[in-house]
Amino acid sequence: MKFFVDTAEIDAIAELNDLGMVDGVTTNPSLILKSGRDIMEVTREICEMVSGPVSAEVVATEADQMIAEGRKLAKIAPNIAVKVPLTWDGLKACKVLSGEGNMVNVTLCFSANQALLAAKAGATFISPFIGRLDDINLDGMELISDIRQIYDNYGYETQILAASIRTVNHAYQSAMIGADVMTAPPAVIKSMAKHVLTDKGLDAFLADWAKTGQNIL
């Protein structure tokens, strides 16, 4: 499973990248706002650090403008994936931008039918938002599973990018279902290392070690 980091915070990306945990990065207008950085500048910095796809999102709502914005974002670096929303205009922009050889990430996907349309429009990635479905008492994981089955039924190559991941359980379940990629905030990725029995076991080992009176160094 590929790990994308869902942030525009350079330091957080660098820490995970040094560990080989970063196969790509996703950003969106809210994450750019949170970073307090200029979109072109911060996206360029991320692209220099990370060799995998870096999603940068258009903000126009009409296809021609989305295409113009997408072309500008794609010029930042060869590893840009242009992110467009899953609207009819977004699908038009996806078709044109992917036809020009750009990676396209179709975002804000909340149904299997939307995912099917994105695949037909040539999306490189489809981003179903798990946490936001859970927020309204629907089942985000069921959507990942449905899209996996539909894409496999017909051999679509669009990669399922499980997004809006809020918990380690979302990450685990996405991997079990076979999402190609997950994008998660740095804190969720780091939490995947935690287990209460690991902490408890380590405490016991260290307590016994202290009793031996030995040192390794």
Q: Total residues contacting ligand G3P (rule CB under 6 A)? A: 10
**Least spacing, CB of residue 165 vs ligand G3P, in Å:** 7
Distances (CA, A) of 217 to 57, 100, 214: 50, 58, 9
φ and ψ of 3, to 5 deg: -105, 120
Q: Is 50 helix (H, G, I), strand (E, B) or coil?
A: coil
CB-based burial of residue 205 (10 Å sphere; 0-12 exposed, 13-18 middle, 19+ buried)?
exposed
Alpha carbon 53 to its chain's center: 10
**Least spacing, CB of residue 72 vs ligand G3P, in Å:** 22
Of the candidate spans 64-72, 91-99, 161-169, 202-210, the one that interacts with ligand G3P by CB under 6 A turns out to be: 161-169
b/e 95-105 (16+ beta carbons within 10 angstroms → b): bbbbeeebbbb
**Least spacing, CB of residue 164 vs ligand G3P, in Å:** 4
Q: Largest alpha-carbon pair distance within the chain?
A: 72
Residue 17 touches ligand G3P, criterion: CB under 6 A: no
Which residue type occupies 167?
T
Tell which one of 2, 95, 120, 166 touches ligand G3P (CB under 6 A). Answer: 166
Tell which one of 5, 12, 28, 110 touches ligand G3P (CB under 6 A). Answer: 28
Catalytic site includes residue 75: no
- Which is closer to ligand G3P, CB of 33 or CB of 204? 33
Q: Which of 34, 83, 190, 211 is catalytic?
A: 83
Residue 183 touches ligand G3P, criterion: CB under 6 A: yes
Residue 6 touches ligand G3P, criterion: CB under 6 A: yes
Beta pairing class for 24-26 and 2-6: parallel
Tell which one of 131, 142, 187, 191 touches ligand G3P (CB under 6 A). Answer: 131
Question: Which candidate, 122, 120, 115, places its Cα nearest to that of 160?
Answer: 115
Tell which one of 92, 95, 120, 132 touches ligand G3P (CB under 6 A). Answer: 132
Active site (catalytic) residues: 83
- Which residues bind to ligand G3P, rule: CB under 6 A? 6, 26, 28, 129, 131-132, 163-164, 166, 183
